[in-house]
Structure 1
């Protein structure tokens, strides 16, 4: 299944987790690792991970299911002492999954050594260590020695009580400047792809397809990533701000949230720019709600989410009408879904069920995925894939990785933006919409 899974089987190791309340941890972002930030937050609250106790890597069509199976096994065997009991306490892993089954990008769940968290005015610290059980045979003992960092359970318990020190907030640095250029798909090719998609939609091949484009730049100052994340959090406080394995962004769209048997999601589809003044801004929001094109696109996305979630719920309610979600640079049509789980699914089970949504793929899903793979001309990687966290009970919060960029180990930065294409889409308008959606991440890198 995964290299991590095989190593754990050989070593018969378990995770030892200790969560304790602390007086205060604000602010969180300046405490993140500058080179390998792990972070999930909204409105100043969330979790930051430091170090790496364990990494689960998967790929292919079963990437989410494989990760969920390993995580369920690890969680069931973990020694957890959680003295806070809030979402994000106890055993947690940060995750990011590739969008496509065929993607070359690896999907990951990362268990940090140290988690710092804040929620509802309370703060906590979680320490996570890997303990090794006594070997049954000499051969097993030889295998156990291959697992770096493992010790006895008493050693792990001691480590979980005080491995990494809580870092002091680092001084804020300037935002690193990245100059972005079009990637594999230049603007004129994107417009041609939109025109071809409209032709296929009008021909009855599908109802909607989401087409994305990428911008590429070079990062020379890794220490500045905290400043980039800080700017996203300040400019877009109502979004999910995330950093997982080089993927950073500020997503307005909740893929799925599971908390003690309740499930919720936020579906976004339909977009317009903000107005120059108050009156103009109101006019744009009203026009969005009255736009037949945008409402039709939104209805397809909501129907897709309901179809995927409903089999797992005893009850699922949706907002009676789409509402306008205001962000600093644009308006979205949004619908909230909320319900009660009916089959004991975990957050990862639901991630597997709902990804990819019509909001980032299209309708019908299978046809749309084939069309976008043909017309886009590049591997999305983790863009528009699930990003978030899962805990030892299977609860968690997952967003769709939007308004984001992937920073590779060589410093290459790839930013992404896409639009839902329907029968009356205009190529030039869709290109302009991608420019609006690029704004958060481009400006966060000093653009």
Structure 2
């Protein structure tokens, strides 16, 4: 097939999300910066255990044949595709790479528009509010506590060291619902997180799987959670306890060590920070930042093929925890906790874990997930409460999208 024709030029797009499709927005935002797409110049679909390597190979061929005129040359310009991938190898969910017909973006003082194919005109439209209340899905609170108890029994029996189990909430989008309003609400409430909307998957993730530009990469591992305190003094006490607590540190070490093991295979100079408390609007997380330089010709999709699923969303050891998750949850997670983000023509881009969000099907059915990492000594009631806090971002954005 003929190569894609891509042209990026400077522009002042205004409010980025107003350029997205109201029903099916394409967006990756962090605060005021980000990229938003509209239309579909190319859609690639993948399934099964080789979905990442298949996508990486297909993308290399597309990028090689593309004709790109990029007058701005910052991350997010030129040829880009938005992507969302299924969590499990055997999931029925479709993993996708979508090249829009148009992309508008902002990074610092740089603003631009990219046209893929024929150039057109910008037609921003006002964003309407949509309100949806979520209810219990297949795994309600009682069942989730039972799942946690069974997971701790499996850990005590030596079947795994950590198992991340999730529960779901469901709802229905009105037929005229404007999904962009949910994204706006997430950006406003969680400006330091990455708000994502790709092929019906939408949320605000605090966890960066990999972000890379010209080979230099960054990855942030989160595991270990505590609710924020009601006063500054209490908040500081909670952060200190999280950073020194045995249960949370063990959970975090599993996740950080497994990520480092994989990333050092792709970047021998990979180095990790010490764990530190990361403050979010409604939570504290234990975080470790990993940086380094990818080996030549490695793309971010190649990293995803090795890194996903991390111990932060699956457990340790990986194969054993995934098998137990499938047995205990008994449902298809779809693209919850899978990678979502964007890739450029050089293989760089930004991918986060699809957390603190939901998946909106074409018929308007909504399914939101949240999970918790179970280790020896986990308390079912406390883990259920943790999932309730993690559900708040998407629950609040759906119930009151424009605060």
Q: Does TM, scored on the shorter chain, surpass 0.5?
A: yes
- Contact kept, 8 Å, 2:203 with 2:357, in 1: the verdict is yes
Task: Give 5+ residue unaligned stretches, structure 1.
Answer: 1-11, 130-158
In the TM superposition, what is the alpha-carbon distance from 1:343 to its structure 2 partner? Answer: 4.2
Aligned to 2:257: 303
Aligned to 1:52: 40
- Taking the TM superposition and a 5 Å limit, the aligned residue runs for 1:82-161 are 82-129=70-117, 159=118
Aligned to 1:21: 10
SS of 2:142's equivalent in the other structure is: helix
Distance 1:33 1:211 in 2: 33
Distance 1:237 1:217 in 2: 25
Q: Which aligned segments of 4 or more residues in structure 1 are displaced greater than 4 angstroms? A: none
Q: 1:350 aligns with which of 275, 284, 303?
A: 303
Aligned to 2:349: 396
Aligned to 2:234: 280
Aligned to 2:271: 317
- Contact kept, 8 Å, 1:312 with 1:343, in 2: the verdict is no
TM-score, length basis structure 1: 0.88
Aligned to 1:39: 27
Distance 1:252 1:106 in 2: 24
Distance 2:8 2:390 in 1: 38
Deviations 1:149-177 (A, max 9, x none): xxxxxxxxxx1xx23x2123x33433x22
In the TM superposition, what is the alpha-carbon distance from 1:221 to its structure 2 partner? Answer: 4.9
Q: 2:64 aligns with which of 51, 55, 76?
A: 76
TM-score, length basis structure 2: 0.97
Aligned to 1:439: 392
Structure with bigger gyration radius: 1
- Contact kept, 8 Å, 1:360 with 1:384, in 2: the verdict is yes
In the TM superposition, what is the alpha-carbon distance from 1:433 to its structure 2 partner? Answer: 0.4
SS of 1:370's equivalent in the other structure is: helix
- Contact kept, 8 Å, 1:40 with 1:243, in 2: the verdict is yes
- Contact kept, 8 Å, 1:53 with 1:111, in 2: the verdict is yes
Aligned to 1:142: none
- Contact kept, 8 Å, 1:46 with 1:117, in 2: the verdict is yes
Task: Give 5+ residue unaligned stretches, structure 2.
Answer: none
Residue 196 in structure 1 maps to residue 185 in structure 2? no
- Contact kept, 8 Å, 2:203 with 2:355, in 1: the verdict is yes
In the TM superposition, what is the alpha-carbon distance from 1:332 to its structure 2 partner? Answer: 0.5
Distance 1:172 1:100 in 2: 34
Distance 1:316 1:179 in 2: 43
Distance 1:342 1:18 in 2: 29
Distance 2:365 2:31 in 1: 29
Q: CA RMSD in A?
A: 1.1
Distance 2:57 2:214 in 1: 20
In the TM superposition, what is the alpha-carbon distance from 1:314 to its structure 2 partner? Answer: 3.2
Distance 1:331 1:350 in 2: 27
In the TM superposition, what is the alpha-carbon distance from 1:109 to its structure 2 partner? Answer: 0.3
In the TM superposition, what is the alpha-carbon distance from 1:264 to its structure 2 partner? Answer: 1.1
SS of 1:64's equivalent in the other structure is: helix
Gap change, CA 1:342 and 1:70, over 3 Å in 2: closer
Residue 236 in structure 1 maps to residue 225 in structure 2? no
Q: 1:250 aligns with which of 201, 204, 214?
A: 204
Distance 1:291 1:279 in 2: 18
- Contact kept, 8 Å, 2:9 with 2:114, in 1: the verdict is yes
Residue 171 in structure 1 maps to residue 126 in structure 2? yes
